[in-house]
A and B are shown apart, each in its own frame.
Chain A
Amino acid sequence: MNDVHLVLMILFPLLLLIGVPIYAALGLTGFAAAYVTGSPMAVASQSILNGIDKFPLLAIPAFIFAGNLMEQGGITQSIVRVFRHLLGHIPGSLGIVTIFSCMFFAAISGSGPGAAAAVGGIMIPAMLRYGYPPAYAAATVATGGTLGVLIPPSNPMILYGIIANTSIRDLFVAGVVPGILVGFALAGVAYLYAKWLGIKAIDRQESDGTLWRVLWEGKAALAMPGIILGGIYSGFFTPVEASVVAVVYAMFVGALVNRSLTFKGLNIALHRTHMISGALMIVVATSTLFARIITLERIPQILVETFSNATDNTLLLLLMINILLLVVGCFMETLSAIIILGPVLVPLIDSFGVDKTHFGIILILNIEIAFLTPPLGVNLFVAAQIAGIKIEKMMLATLPFILILLVMLALITLVPELSLWLPRTLK
């Protein structure tokens, strides 16, 4: 064990334990590691800046802004009214609606935290308004948001496709069936959990007008996913561009259609966007420096070598890789984890005869779970920030969702056809 290992194993956990902001804990650990290795410290600050200089990341603040504009512009209320009419008689309906909305947004955003922020900005205030426990509201949004990376388009899939030299189109298609399966499983958990918590159904009588009237009045809000999805799949704009289309559309509907978006509301939306995205993106930035130190110390390679020496059984290897990914995912930002582990793991699974597309879906599912595991569970932070609760408080509420995600991970690992059937059929 060298000095850097000591820094990583003592300083970082200690800083987190005493409640130092995560960005400062990651950054200080990175600077300390650079110092003990004698690396130029200026390179550490370059790594932090380069950490956020990635084009796909632009979608995150834009979707956060769009979500806040939708709340201020009365679009949230329209959506909630429609779903109250459709699903209000089911206990925990807003939890189910959150999961399905996240599935919908997942097909727009391609980013886990982006989906959580966009849907969370709408659904968490709605759930709180209807008396749902804040921990349940935040946990549902954080979990639903994870679908953003599994259902295409998905930024991590693009990155993995490039690293693994495999078809991105195949990866996108392979994510459809697991994405739908996981979405329905999470909606089931949201329903059962709400029932267990004793959340009552929303009385349909509270709502005014017929379903058709509610649908007609909410048409501008309901058209939004259609415009975004249609725009992406027709090739009119990219997912990052879609995020700013969402901003412009939310402004247009809020200000001119609903006439609810005032300058005060715009100011509040801007403030919230800066606070959430500022707090979130600096963690992504500093985690790049942290990931760099881990890479230079060859920690992922050492772990992988240990696993590959331990067995020649494919299933056991996948099980061990899953465990490794789950552990690494706790401490490493998503894109960094793919960049670091992808080149190491792909040759390993390839030598065991595992399909690279299938492994891509397994990797993405692990990333989904990593979004929910502290200390770097980004979706936890997004949802906790929006709900205004502490991460510790919502972690317990997230457990049932994590358990079902682990079950789905095992199922998708054991049954490759769930991922590979659709790409093979469409070939």
Chain B
Amino acid sequence: MTVFDQIRALASDLFAISPDKLSVSSSPETVDAWDSVQHLNLVLAVEEKFHLQLSPEEIEQMKTIGDIVKIVEGKLQTAPS
């Protein structure tokens, strides 16, 4: 599973919508269930799933699914293991 697939699966569980309704450009503007509470839930689920900590600056930049994928991929590459 790619990072995108995994993040899409998390978002799909959280927002209770089918994964094929989510794309890299999905955002709180395009997904009804994606409110501030669900945004926090998504951040926490991503941190748990990929065993990483996101900084407030990174969380600030996460406007779309694609943004989240990019940031997570960047952190996974620099991570020691």
The reply to whether chain A is a binding partner of chain B is: no
Q: List residues of chain B with CB under 8 Å of any chain A CB.
A: none
Q: List residues of chain A with CB under 8 Å of any chain B CB.
A: none
